[in-house]
Every structure is written in C-alpha cells, then in structure tokens.
Structure 1
C-alpha cells in the first residue's frame, strides 16, 4: 500500500510540477483577474449553448425538408408513371388515325364532295369527317400536353431527389457539428463550475450585481399573452441558471423566454438567435412589458422587458434569474414583440 501511495504522490507531483525549481510556481491570480476570466468563460459558454440551440433548430428544419423532398419525389415519380401510360394511350390513338388516313380514309371536304352521290350523303360525309378532324386535333393536343407534363414531372422528380440528398448531407454534417459543440459545452461547464467554487464572497456579490427591488404592481394587468408571459417570468426570480434548461425551476437565457411564453400558450423558438428572427421588431423607445430584448452582436443572450427600464433574464452560471436595468444585461441588439 505504501508503495502504491508513494507512486501516486510521485505521479501527481510530476503532473502538477512539484519537481520544478523553487520559485517557479505561477503566482495566484488576483481576484479581479479571476472574476474577469470567469465572466469571459461564462460568456463563451452561453454563446456555445445558444449556438447549439440554434443548430438544433436548423437540424430540425433540414430533417423536415428531407421528409418533404422525399414525399415530393415519390409523388412526382408516381405521376410520371401515370403520365407515361396516358401518353402511350394517346400515341396509340394518333397512330390509328394516321394509319387510317394512309389506307384511304380521306379527311377533307373536297373528298367528301367527290364521293357523295346525293346532298344527304354529302352532309353525312362532311359531318363524320368533321368529327374525325376535331378528334384528331384534340388527340394530338392532349398527347402534346401530356408529353410536356410528363417531362416536367420527370424534371421535378430529379430536382426533388437532388434537394433531398443535399438536405440529408447537410443534416448529417450539422449533426456532427452539434455533437462537437456539445462536447465543448460540457468541458466549459465543468471548468466554470470549478472556477465558481474558487470565487470569494466579494467576487460572487460583484458577479451577481446589485439587487433590484422591482415592484410587481408596475406590471400591466390583463390576459394578453405578453402580460401573462412577463408575470410568469417574474415568478422565477431567484431560480438558478443552468445551461440548456427551460424550467420549471432552472433556466438558461432563451429557456426562460420559452417557458414564460409557454404559460401564455405561445411557442417561441428555442435559441436567442431564432428569437431575434421571429416576432416583430420594435424600437427601443417603443418597448412594452413582455417584449424580448436581444443582446450582443451575435444575438447570444436574451431577456424580457418588464417596464420602467428593467429586464428580467437568466444571465450566467452562479447568478440566479434577476431583474436588472436594461443595459446591465449586455449590449443592446434588438427588441422583438411576440
């Protein structure tokens, strides 16, 4: 046992540089640097998390596109088979008329006059020949249309197949990228948790920021979806930030928005980037409680406006859901109304 323990001590000493010369150990980080590093890492983790949410949304769209393209291809191929069969039937009718004409079935008025031996016979001949002529024109027209339609259907089927194959390839690549991002997110989350444990009480207080005592009476009344959503979000104050969480008692930034509007019967996109792409854009001066505020140039953070210049958001690991001044949540990008 002593030998095993001694071996472990030597291994750890080598791994962590215990055998380095005296004075070679790196100096401990200052509290300010440690907090800055933690904040930076948390920001990167949130960016990765929202990117993953957005990639999952795109992956779902691509899978839907594959399903639609496959259905379209099957339908186009079935239609092509039916049109080919119809074209064969029309070709047979045209061939029969051509053969009949070749064997002596004249289809003109002069021939009718020449072979008629009475006025009534002439009328009968002309009437029959007129019907044959019209039928011939109609058959040729139908055959031409059917042939054109069949060719268009064939092209549509080929195009649909190409699109389906491209969508499948894109979906597979996106899925691989998603897995890589997921692994990176897990690593960052582990690193952040370790750093969080090392923060002092003063650093934790600075990270959380000053608490805001927002009076719920300032919230609008009524049963409009945005009113229900903002009131629902306010009930989550103090809940922890957890990457990828959508409630009911832990959230990431976009997850809080999704959960709050779900209480109002509305489904929001899962990522902050997709939330930027939805709803209706409103100017900062026209924001109302319930509007979403998108932050950062890459739209990697989101909060909900509660009125009077304040926003509720799930900011980062270690900081619970809170109400803060709008500009304390990050650099303003856009506001969206759902």
Structure 2
C-alpha cells in the first residue's frame, strides 16, 4: 500500500489573526466532537432504558393477570370454607361418636364412619388448597407490585436520559451554528491547513479478505471523501464512531455506538501489534476513533469541513489505545 504525503504549497504567512481563527475553529470542532459523542451515548442510554420500560411493563401486566387469576381461585376456595362453616352452624355432625350413636348396625356404623372419613379428608384438602392459594396470591401480588414499581422506575430513568439527550442535542445545535459560521469565514489557505496535506493513497493495496476486520476495512476506505456530519452513521456521511459502526455493520458485526464505548469493548491491542480493522482510540477522554488500515495509517472521519480520509496514525489525534473486534 502506498500512502505518501503531497507537500502543500509553501507559505510565508506569519502567525496572525488568520491562524488564530483556524485555531479557534479547531477548538470549536473538538468541543463539538465531544458533545457529539456525549449525545450519541445519551441516545444509546435512552434507547436501552426505553427497552427496559417495555420489558418491565410487560412483566407488570403479566404479574397483574396472574394476580387476577389467583384471586378467582381464592374466591372459589373461600366458598368451600364458607359452605363447611354453614354446615357446622346448622348442626352437622362430623365426629366418630355421632356415627356410633346414629348407626343401627355394624355395617351402618362402617358406612357412616367411611363417609365421615371422606368428608374429613376433603375438608383437610380444601383447607390445604386454600392455604396454598392464599400463599400464591400473596406472591403474585408481590410480583405485580414489584414489576409495577420497576416499570415506574424505568420510566423515570428513561425520562431523565431523554432530558440529557435533548440537552446534548441543543448544545450541539448551538455549537454547529458557530462552527459553520467560522468555517464560512475561512480562507482557502486556512481550509487547506485545516484539511492537512493530501496523501497519495492506493486503496487496491489494502489487505482484502472475508474476515469481519478486513471486510470492515474495505467498507471504511470505500467512504473516503464522504462528509463529516455530527451524529451520522452513514451510508454517505459520518461522524468518527459512526464510520466504525457502519463499516463493521457491512461485515455483519455490531459495535458499540460511541468511541468511549468502543474503547470499553473489544480486545486490547498493543500499538506494535496493530492489524487492519483494529480501532484506534484518540485523546485521553476517548472522544475520537479511527480504523487501522495498515502501514501505519488509519481511515477516519475527522471533523466538520474535512471529509473521510486516510492519514498517518498520529495525524488523527493523540493516541490513546487500540481495540480489536
């Protein structure tokens, strides 16, 4: 793979207000990238929490249905108890002495005692059933109450996450307005300095293969020249982590949404052991990410006004660490 810099035209322009504007633009862009990644995280957290809300509400509905069913069983069992109580109140005899007194023959005595034994066993079974039903009903109510509370808590957390997301979106919109305004004021020389030197890049020399990593590399370099857009995940515009997400999606592999989450996942890789497809994380707060393509170069979506490009690994930002997926 051949990736060589094309030297920019020499310029004798001194450090001036023009260079300060460019420096200010870069600072604004870095802040916006941080906000973008924070917004992406807030969006992810909100989506996760909304799924939890749905799950907990279903659990609550299921537990409530179970409670209603157990309540019906409890009513049936209570009717049996009430019937037994009424029979006793009206003078029903259910003891063995009564059987002896009213029996006029040995066979009659056996018949009466057998009937009483059956009656006794049925009563005991009814009482046991009632106790079990009552216990299950209490458990069902406790489960329903717990599920309802968890659903309510999940809703509260989701609303909090939505508030954070809306705040981040508002922050980014304001930052984007400022960045676009400054960008429009940049001169041709400033724009060239912003984009950096151009590199001769032969995409045909990049490793090919069917592994997810190599498929992702080919996908990523196919987007060279596409614009950077905050929060975008393709297919024709990207932010930094969005490009990684989209590239690996083409290899049927899911990655976390943000550069910070991408740092937290995967397998740690030493810089000396980088292979095409590895993600290279930048800055101490992990707010930028690129993909290693080989020979010391990465492909990345840099910042607003700079299209997706292949650059030397240290030109994409201060190196943090790398991950292999």
Question: TM-score, structure 1 length as denominator?
Answer: 0.77
The answer on whether the counterparts of 1:54 and 1:271 sit within 8 Å (CA) in structure 2 is yes
The answer on whether the counterparts of 2:39 and 2:165 sit within 8 Å (CA) in structure 1 is yes
1:118-176 CA distance string (max 9 Å, x none): 37954x56655554444444333332222222222222222222232333333333333
Residue 280 (structure 2) aligned to one of 293, 296, 306: 293
The answer on whether the counterparts of 2:240 and 2:289 sit within 8 Å (CA) in structure 1 is yes
The verdict on how the C-alpha distance between 1:143 and 1:284 changes in structure 2, with shifts beyond 3 A counting, is: farther
In structure 2, what is the equivalent of residue 166 of structure 1?
153
Task: Supply the distance in 1 between the matched residues of 2:106 and 2:171 (Cα, whole angstroms).
Answer: 98
Task: Supply the distance in 2 between the matched residues of 1:100 and 1:119 (Cα, whole angstroms).
Answer: 25
The answer on whether the counterparts of 1:310 and 1:325 sit within 8 Å (CA) in structure 2 is yes
Matches within 5 A, 1:13-162: 30-97=17-84, 103-106=92-95, 117-118=105-106, 122=110, 128-162=115-149
In structure 2, what is the equivalent of residue 24 of structure 1?
none
The answer on whether the counterparts of 2:94 and 2:116 sit within 8 Å (CA) in structure 1 is no
In structure 1, what is the equivalent of residue 225 of structure 2?
238
The answer on whether the counterparts of 1:253 and 1:314 sit within 8 Å (CA) in structure 2 is yes
RMSD: 3.1
Task: Supply the distance in 2 between the matched residues of 1:165 and 1:52 (Cα, whole angstroms).
Answer: 24
Task: Supply the distance in 1 between the matched residues of 2:322 and 2:280 (Cα, whole angstroms).
Answer: 4
Higher relative contact order (CA 8 A, sep 6+): 2
**Partner-residue secondary structure (3-state), 2:285:** coil
Please state if 1:255 is matched with 2:242: yes
What count of residue pairs does the alignment treat as equivalent? 307
The answer on whether the counterparts of 1:310 and 1:326 sit within 8 Å (CA) in structure 2 is yes
1:190-219 CA distance string (max 9 Å, x none): 221222233344443333234444554553
**Partner-residue secondary structure (3-state), 1:55:** helix
The verdict on how the C-alpha distance between 1:59 and 1:135 changes in structure 2, with shifts beyond 3 A counting, is: same
Task: Supply the distance in 2 between the matched residues of 1:73 and 1:200 (Cα, whole angstroms).
Answer: 61
Residue 283 (structure 1) aligned to one of 269, 276, 296: 269
Structure 1 unaligned residues grouped into runs of 5+: 1-27
Q: CA deviation at 1:43?
A: 0.5
> Relative to structure 2, which stretch is displaced further, 291-300 or 312-321?
291-300
Q: CA deviation at 1:112?
A: 7.1
The answer on whether the counterparts of 2:208 and 2:218 sit within 8 Å (CA) in structure 1 is no
The answer on whether the counterparts of 2:269 and 2:324 sit within 8 Å (CA) in structure 1 is no
Q: CA deviation at 1:187?
A: 1.9
The answer on whether the counterparts of 2:74 and 2:134 sit within 8 Å (CA) in structure 1 is yes
The answer on whether the counterparts of 2:29 and 2:179 sit within 8 Å (CA) in structure 1 is yes
Question: TM-score, structure 2 length as denominator?
Answer: 0.80
The verdict on how the C-alpha distance between 1:143 and 1:38 changes in structure 2, with shifts beyond 3 A counting, is: same
> Relative to structure 2, which stretch is displaced further, 178-187 or 132-141?
132-141
The answer on whether the counterparts of 1:305 and 1:312 sit within 8 Å (CA) in structure 2 is yes
The answer on whether the counterparts of 1:281 and 1:334 sit within 8 Å (CA) in structure 2 is no
Task: Supply the distance in 1 between the matched residues of 2:125 and 2:150 (Cα, whole angstroms).
Answer: 37
The answer on whether the counterparts of 2:230 and 2:239 sit within 8 Å (CA) in structure 1 is yes
1:86-125 CA distance string (max 9 Å, x none): 012122223444555673212x7x8878887537954x56
The verdict on how the C-alpha distance between 1:91 and 1:196 changes in structure 2, with shifts beyond 3 A counting, is: same
The verdict on how the C-alpha distance between 1:82 and 1:293 changes in structure 2, with shifts beyond 3 A counting, is: same
In structure 2, what is the equivalent of residue 16 of structure 1?
none
The verdict on how the C-alpha distance between 1:244 and 1:135 changes in structure 2, with shifts beyond 3 A counting, is: same
In structure 2, what is the equivalent of residue 190 of structure 1?
177
